[in-house]
A and B are shown apart, each in its own frame.
Chain A
Amino acid sequence: MSDFSLPADTAGRREKLSVLFTEAVPHNHALGLRLEEVGATDATVVMPYADVLVGNPETGVVAGGAVTTLIDAASGTAVMAALGAFAAIVTLDLRIDYLRPARPGLPLTAHAECYKVTRLVAFVRAQVHQGDPAMPVASSQGTFMRVED
Chain B
Amino acid sequence: MSTPSLPLADLVRQVRQSREYPRLTDAIPYTRFMGIGVENLAGEMLCRMRYAPHLIGNSLLPALHGGTLGALLESSAIFELLLKTDTERVPKVISTTVDFLRSGKAQDTFARAFITRQGRRVANVRVEAWQDDRTRPIASSHALFLLSEP
Contacts and interface: CB of A to CB of B under 8 A. Distances in A.
Contacts of B28: 54-57, 63
Contact of B56 (A26, A64, A96, A101): A26
Contact of B97 (A29, A54, A94): A94
A130 interface: no
B57 A25 contact: yes
A51 B93 contact: no
Interface of B is mostly: mixed
Residues of A in contact with B, size category? 35 or more
Contact of B30 (A65, A92, A94): A65
Contacts of A70: 67
B93 to A, nearest CB: 5
B1 A27 contact: no
B109 interface: no
B95 A97 contact: yes
B58 to A, nearest CB: 7
Interface string B55-79: 1111100001111101110110010
B14 interface: no
Contacts of B53: 26
A29 B28 CA distance: 21
A54 B66 contact: no
Q: Which of B27, B64, B67 gathers most chain A CB within 10 Å? A: B67
A90 interface: yes
Nearest to A149: B60
A98 to B, nearest CB: 5
B146 to A, nearest CB: 9
A18 interface: no
B55 A26 contact: yes
Q: Which of B34, B64, B99 gathers most chain A CB within 10 Å? A: B34
Interface of B: 1, 3-4, 7-8, 27-34, 53-59, 64-68, 70-72, 74-75, 78, 90, 92-100, 103
Q: Which 9 A-B pairs have the closest CB atoms?
A: A69-B67, A65-B71, A68-B70, A27-B65, A63-B30, A52-B33, A30-B54, A51-B1, A95-B97
6 contacts: A25-B57, A26-B59, A26-B65, A95-B95, A95-B96, A98-B95
Given A51-B1, A72-B66, 17 more contacts: A25-B59, A29-B54, A52-B33, A55-B30, A55-B31, A57-B3, A63-B28, A64-B70, A64-B93, A65-B70, A65-B74, A68-B70, A68-B74, A69-B66, A94-B97, A95-B95, A96-B97
